Structure 1
Amino acid sequence: MTKTKQTWRLAKLPLAVSLASTLAAPAFGVTFNIGEIEGQFDSSLSVGASWSVRGADPDLIGSNNGGDGLSQTTDDSRQNFKRGETFSKIFKGIHDLELKYGDTGVFVRGKYWYDFELKDESRIFKDISDSNRKEGAQASGAQILDAFVYHNYDIAGQPGSVRLGKQVVSWGESTFIRNSINEINPVDVSAFRRPGAEIKEGLIPVNMFYVSQSLTENLSAEAFYQLEWDQTVVDNCGTFFAQPDIIADGCTDNLRVLSNNPLAGAGVNNALRNLNLLSGGLLQNRPDLVIDQNSEGVLVRRTGDRDARDSGQFGTALRYFSPELDTEFGAYFMNYHSRTPAFSAAGPAANVYSTAKAALTGTNAQLQPLVVAGNSNYFLEYPEDIQLYGLSFSTTLPTGTAMSGELSYRPNAPVLLNTTDILFAGVNPLGGLFGNASLIDGQPGQEVNGYKRKEITQFQTTFTHFLDRVMGASRLTLVGEIGIVHVGGLESSDQVRYGRDPIYGPGPLPATGTINTCSALNGSTLGTASKENQTKYCEDDGFVTNTAWGYRARAIWDYPDVFAGVNLKPSVSWSHDVDGYGPNGLFTEGAKAVSLGLDAEYQNTYTASLAYTDFFGGKYNTSIDRDFVALSFGMNF
């Protein structure tokens, strides 16, 4: 098959993609011709398994489920998989087909997978279901990923390329740190969790029109217009990495709140009957008042998600290479809709509050939130029309070190509010004991949107250096990235709070009622939590800060032909969130992770990979008990 220059294949990718490519064995594929049509078919098959290697932290299991945590929304995975248990046993394949006629072609990529552990095995706490889940989050399935046509051309001697269809476009210079310029495509998080995952499996192609055009020898322009919106695929509830349990599509009955109250421990009918006895019958014959409670708490129902619209997503980029500076510069603008959701909620109508207050008085007043929670609802929404402005550079220092970086600015980025404040906003209208249960002033029937728009500025820079013949290796690759983010216009945390997992409960509250302090609220609504945890997190910490920063590093050693033609690539990766709490989980102060890996390759066809990852550090780090080992074997042809 004759190879010709394909502009779309040469589009600059983030270094993270390039690094991943160095660890994967190249696949030569099968080339063929059908008349004047040139074709290539590439395939990758793999099997793999992953194991949990640390027991669950009791502080991250809700008190209603036997732990010491202050919420039940992030613990299904911890109860489903114990230390030493397998949480994935998977077979998967991915295939690429390209057909080319002259300068015009079509590219199609598809994948399929079957996870025997998640699909066929039962779980000790909650079985894992594929019902109504996003296709990528299911335990088994098949998907068409890329599917686009392209045409390469020249205008006045300057090359250009156009593509139409489902595709991935990567901009910017981000390597490891997210929330970067590279926001055009959503991510399939579930795919990246699977042992033996490749970059191309986890980037979700989206239908769009894309054009890249050289304007001069050193100046080029790019533009895209998306024809549809798609969301990031998060982990299915109950799977090993899932947190929280209430976000994935189809996970509609997992938001259970408040105390495991013995008055309502036997389901809807008993809950209403017991409350009715206490209220002297005032709740009788009220079909509009619904309470669904089990051992985990009262169910807050999930209503329909509010997806973003398909139209209105576009962007443009300019790239200039300066021969004098030996540096490429980039400038970017895009308007896009969030690929990740905001958690929002709505309290019940005013009559629910009045009935609850009239029916439950005296010592029984503490049961009023049961009625409110059981008649509230939550929904996920995806903020639209986020604007992004970006600048980037890429150069080589005199030492031979590659240096790149980017600056991004979003004047109207959504920053997620504290989920606990959102939920307890529905309790505030009860007044009295619960009059200040949240910093958010909820009103009967009012929706509380789970985000506010803020200015977010982020800078990150990457250094890459190659050392030959070091430690017996033919080459040592060192990569490091540092990033810092600033949120403009952030209110004082005694007015509005952003971020922090609900497992840690509310922060400080105005002490204007008998149970309106943080510890008293925890004691009244989750009395089974440990006394230490009822007060431990009642502090102004763990919420989004004005500024946060961290860094990532990776080292990869190349040992070719170690034995019998087998090439080995040991690696070590390090992550450290140094200071502050970034918006939407970007940085968590003190959180660290280290990963040790070994990749093997034989004859550019057969591969094996073994990796161990340890998460630790950070008082508000919900990943500290998610340590795991992954092993995979693959074949590329």
Structure 2
Amino acid sequence: MSSANLIGGRLVIGLAAALACGGVLQAKEFGTGNPDLSLRWDNTLRYNLGVRAEERERALANNATYDESDSKFDRGDVVTNRLDLMSEFELAYQQYHGFRVSAAAWYDQAYADGDVETAEGNVFYPGAFPGPSTPSYRGGEYSGFTKRYHRGVSGELLDAFAFTRFNLGDVPVSLRAGRHTVYWGSGLLIAGHAISYSQAPLDGRKAVSNPGTETREIFLPLTQLSAQAQVTDRLSVAAQYFFEWDTTRAPEGGTYLASADIALEGPNQLPVAPGFVRPLIDPLTPGDSGNWGVMGTYSLDFLHSDIGLYYREFDDYNPWGLQVGGNFARYVYADNVRLYGLSWSAGPVLGGGSVGVDLSYRQNTSLISSNFSSVDNQGARGDTWHLVVNGLWLLPRTDFFDTGNVIAEMAYSHVQRVTDRKELFKGEGYSGCPTGQDKEWGCATRNYVGVAFSFAPQWLGVFPGWNISAPMSFDYGVSGNAATGGGSEGKYSYKIGIKGTLDERYDVTLAYIGYGSPRKYADIPSVGKTVVGGAGDIGLSDRNWISLTLSTAF
């Protein structure tokens, strides 16, 4: 074992012991001697152990697009053995003025071995070139980026902003400046179609590993200036302007939960045939400044509801797609997207719950493209409608549980028109959708419908100091493939878990997590292999796993 791995292993053992013992490190709210000045330091320590629960599907491993991520771990192998530390510090004067800083650190012993695993004699499908496996990493070893974010030991700064509140005449105004997040609209679970779409880059690694996580919990902070003013008792207005751009994150190719081997920032080459690769060069990204938005909400007496209006201009944080040239490949991101939004929320209604609606119209938005123009690096663009409807209920006491909550959400999208590069649009009826293929092979449709559910019944005082809950979630693409990439027909993920909380401080969660997408199989007689293709995250279709998580706040 290398010295780095030995140190990392000791770190895992030491922090796990601290977590198990509890109280080794204590939370502190520091006394300042000034009743107007408060200083707080909070920490959360989290340990996650995950084990692969499914056998590898041979047809997936035979496909060169998925073999690395599928071949890294066998059934029963530990796929994550990770410790995370989150630290948050806040200094406030009279609760209205101050600054906040948060940071994270991590180490995952499951990736101590940085070698990339490939399947022998896989097939480049649909080209169907058989041959020796060629990894998406030079030298068959994870890049520094992948090692940093999936193994560690590493860390990063998250929030870092100053805040203040003052009165402008009779109008209270709140300001925040620095790295933070702002979340608008009523969307809860389906990020790709809410008004909050691309209002911040998303932590896709967290979202994939924990289905059912609310969108606002996977927002990543960026440097910006945001303001909110309570103009009247009923009218509130807000605005934000960004000074930083960064990409949404995803599990990197060759790691367990990667949907494809070349996702997203870690891999450094694209295999195109046995022994032939194109280097993955730096992505084509927008500049740091230029994203901004304004909004206003008005409170109505009707059903104690609020109505909101929104306008945003942004460069997309989600990749448009992979541009493949004659001697390179790179990810491309769309700029100059405009969003018009209308939201409505009300509660309590329908048995004491709350309901929310997001309706948005995107102009000049990116559409799924077969490739990108070599002249201006642009793919297909168009105008699209998006609708999200949801409800949230706190559960009453019944004979089966004491309390809990349930969330249900539906999303719909519609392509109004394709405005640019129609020949590149990978949609049914367009030339970007290969001859003989349709939505089952990943081509977009004009309409898409998806649903998501979260259900968490809770039992209080089951044992002294213990509350027990059973968090469950499920999301499913009901119909069509979203032209903007926000879901596909038949794609699903789910989580079934049991969670115990001791003294409202220590959490233990055991969960089974699964994924799936419809798959199309084809036999390649020349090499005697069956390979698979299709729509959605088909690479995750055999990656079900069991997760045990321990966490405590101190």
Class of the TM-score when normalised by the shorter of the 2 chains? 0.7 to 0.9
Match 1:151 to one of 164, 170, 184: 164
Cα distance in 1 between the residues matched to 2:445 and 2:485: 11
Residues 499/252 of structure 1: CA separation in 2 closer, same or farther (3 Å cut): farther
Match 2:545 to one of 628, 632, 635: 628
Match 2:68 to one of 66, 76, 83: 76
List per-residue Cα deviations over 1:256-303 (Å, max 9, x = no partner): 123x4xxxxxxxxxxxxxxxxxxxxxxxxxxxxxxxx2xxxx212223
Give the CA deviation at 1:499: 7.1
1:555 touches 1:571 (CA, 8 Å); kept in 2? yes
Residues 494/196 of structure 1: CA separation in 2 closer, same or farther (3 Å cut): closer
Given the alignment of the two structures, is residue 212 of structure 1 paired with residue 254 of structure 2, yes or no? Answer: no
Give the CA deviation at 1:490: 4.5
Match 2:267 to one of 251, 255, 260: 251
Q: Secondary structure at the match of 2:268?
A: coil
Is the deviation greater in 474-483 or in 610-619?
610-619
Given the alignment of the two structures, is residue 163 of structure 1 paired with residue 156 of structure 2, yes or no? Answer: no
The alignment's C-alpha RMSD in Å is 3.0
Q: Secondary structure at the match of 1:78?
A: helix
Cα distance in 2 between the residues matched to 1:598 and 1:550: 26
Structure 1 partner of 2:331: 380
Given the alignment of the two structures, is residue 106 of structure 1 paired with residue 58 of structure 2, yes or no? Answer: no
Give the CA deviation at 1:227: 0.9
Is the deviation greater in 408-417 or in 199-208?
199-208
Q: Secondary structure at the match of 2:233?
A: coil
Cα distance in 2 between the residues matched to 1:176 and 1:627: 21
* Equivalent runs, 1:191-230 vs 2, <5 Å: 191-192=206-207, 202-230=218-246
Structure 1 partner of 2:7: none
Residues 569/485 of structure 1: CA separation in 2 closer, same or farther (3 Å cut): same
**Counterpart residue identity of residue 397, structure 2:** R
Residues 552/601 of structure 1: CA separation in 2 closer, same or farther (3 Å cut): same
**Counterpart residue identity of residue 257, structure 2:** F
Cα distance in 1 between the residues matched to 2:418 and 2:154: 43
Q: Secondary structure at the match of 1:76?
A: helix
Residues 494/221 of structure 1: CA separation in 2 closer, same or farther (3 Å cut): closer
Residues 499/584 of structure 1: CA separation in 2 closer, same or farther (3 Å cut): farther
Q: Secondary structure at the match of 2:70?
A: helix
Structure 2 partner of 1:547: 447
Give the CA deviation at 1:633: 0.6
Cα distance in 1 between the residues matched to 2:442 and 2:282: 30
**Counterpart residue identity of residue 79, structure 2:** F
1:499 touches 1:584 (CA, 8 Å); kept in 2? no
Match 2:307 to one of 313, 329, 333: 329
Q: Which runs of 5+ in 2 are unaligned?
A: 1-24, 119-134, 520-534
Cα distance in 2 between the residues matched to 1:394 and 1:28: 40
1:195 touches 1:630 (CA, 8 Å); kept in 2? no
* Equivalent runs, 1:444-593 vs 2, <5 Å: 446=374, 449=377, 451-490=379-418, 496-498=424-426, 508-509=434-435, 541-593=441-493
Greater share of strand: 2
**Counterpart residue identity of residue 240, structure 1:** Y
Matched residue count: 483
TM-score normalized by structure 2? 0.80
Q: Which runs of 5+ in 1 are unaligned?
A: 1-26, 62-66, 261-292, 349-375, 423-441, 501-505, 510-517, 519-536
Identity %: 23
Given the alignment of the two structures, is residue 607 of structure 1 paired with residue 535 of structure 2, yes or no? Answer: no
2:212 touches 2:474 (CA, 8 Å); kept in 1? no
Structure 2 partner of 1:52: 52
Cα distance in 2 between the residues matched to 1:542 and 1:193: 20
Cα distance in 2 between the residues matched to 1:448 and 1:35: 61
**Counterpart residue identity of residue 506, structure 2:** Y
Give the CA deviation at 1:122: 5.0
Give the CA deviation at 1:128: 5.5
Cα distance in 1 between the residues matched to 2:26 and 2:354: 29
TM-score normalized by structure 1? 0.70
Given the alignment of the two structures, is residue 313 of structure 1 paired with residue 327 of structure 2, yes or no? Answer: no
Give the CA deviation at 1:195: 7.3
1:612 touches 1:630 (CA, 8 Å); kept in 2? yes
* Equivalent runs, 1:48-447 vs 2, <5 Å: 48-61=48-61, 67=62, 69=63, 72-102=64-94, 103-120=96-113, 124-125=117-118, 129-133=142-146, 136=149, 139-179=152-192, 180-182=194-196, 183-192=198-207, 202-253=218-269, 255-258=270-273, 260=274, 293=275, 298-345=276-323, 347-348=325-326, 376-396=327-347, 397-418=349-370, 446=374
Give the CA deviation at 1:412: 0.8
Cα distance in 2 between the residues matched to 1:479 and 1:29: 32
Residues 30/629 of structure 1: CA separation in 2 closer, same or farther (3 Å cut): same
Give the CA deviation at 1:496: 4.6
Cα distance in 1 between the residues matched to 2:460 and 2:439: 53
Structure 2 partner of 1:4: none
**Counterpart residue identity of residue 454, structure 2:** R
**Counterpart residue identity of residue 117, structure 1:** A
Cα distance in 1 between the residues matched to 2:439 and 2:243: 46
List per-residue Cα deviations over 1:509-531 (Å, max 9, x = no partner): 3xxxxxxxx7xxxxxxxxxxxxx
Q: Secondary structure at the match of 1:243?
A: coil
Give the CA deviation at 1:55: 2.3
Residues 137/342 of structure 1: CA separation in 2 closer, same or farther (3 Å cut): farther
Is the deviation greater in 464-473 or in 237-246?
464-473
2:314 touches 2:338 (CA, 8 Å); kept in 1? yes
Cα distance in 2 between the residues matched to 1:634 and 1:611: 14
**Counterpart residue identity of residue 472, structure 1:** F
